[in-house]
Homo-oligomer: A and B are copies of this chain.
Amino acid sequence: MVNRITQIMATSTVENYLKAALLYEQEHQGIVPMGSLVEALGVVPGTVTTMVKAMATQGLLEHEVRQGVRLTPVGRALALGVLRKHRLVETFLVQTLEMDWSEVHVEAEALEHAVSNRVLERIDAYLGHPTVDPHGDPIPNAEGSIADEATQATMQDCTIKKPLRVTRILDQSADFLDYVQDHGLKPGAKIEVLKRVEASGVLQCALADGEEIVLGLPAAAKIVVGISA
């Protein structure tokens, strides 16, 4: 029963490696290749090898030489904590400080390492314990469990000519978010996919106000939709 308070303190670099591994694990399955960390962190491959070995000796992840890494339970818990901070901070910046939807990601990237749990829980309470952030991404709770994402249909593979609602945007780049905002496709928006032409790689959809827009299938795959409740 000793040592229960032990809060492992990771540097922000370590937190970023953990978060990148977690996000990769959530989108793919099995081991996280070194290359994905190289790309996510914007460093050269040798740097990742060095960091990963250090983090493995700290018990944050397992390093399968020449293959990649796997988060340990400790590493995953830490990563979920960082993700929770990131998403709660983003929500806060948009909802409370009314910041632009497309600029908060960068800000949250910095703040997620500086916000203490004490401050975070105040923010969480202030926001009324939200379960998703402004992009529709689920927010892990304080215990690190995350609402499972079920089977998510995107505009690219959903049923056609049914009333739908945008629930999540899978691309955090400012460019894409600006596009989404400008065309009224933010989470919550009511839409209906009218036609999808695989050959031309294009899709046609209608907004609540009747306006029709056309977008490419790769873009459509980044917009998650659900039944319009």
By a beta-carbon cutoff of 8 Å, the part of chain A in contact with chain B is 93, 96-99, 103, 107, 110-111, 113-116, 118-119, 122-123, 126
Contacts of A115 in B (CB 8 A): 111, 114
Q: Is the CB–CB distance between B114 and A110 below 8 Å? A: yes
CA–CA, A118 and B96, complex, Å: 14
A96 contact set on B, CB distance < 8 A: 96, 126
- From A112, which residue of chain B is reached at the shortest CB distance? B114
What is the count of identical protomers in the complex? 2
> A99 contacts B111, CB within 8 Å?
no
Q: How far is the CB of A226 from chain B (nearest CB, A)?
A: 31
Chain B residues, Cβ within 8 Å of A107 = 116, 118-119
Q: Which of B97, B113, B118, B122 contacts A123 (CB 8 A)?
A: B97
Distance between A103 CB and nearest chain B CB, rounded to angstroms: 7
In the A-B complex, the 8 residue pairs with the closest CB atoms: A114-B114, A97-B122, A110-B114, A111-B114, A107-B119, A107-B116, A99-B122, A97-B126
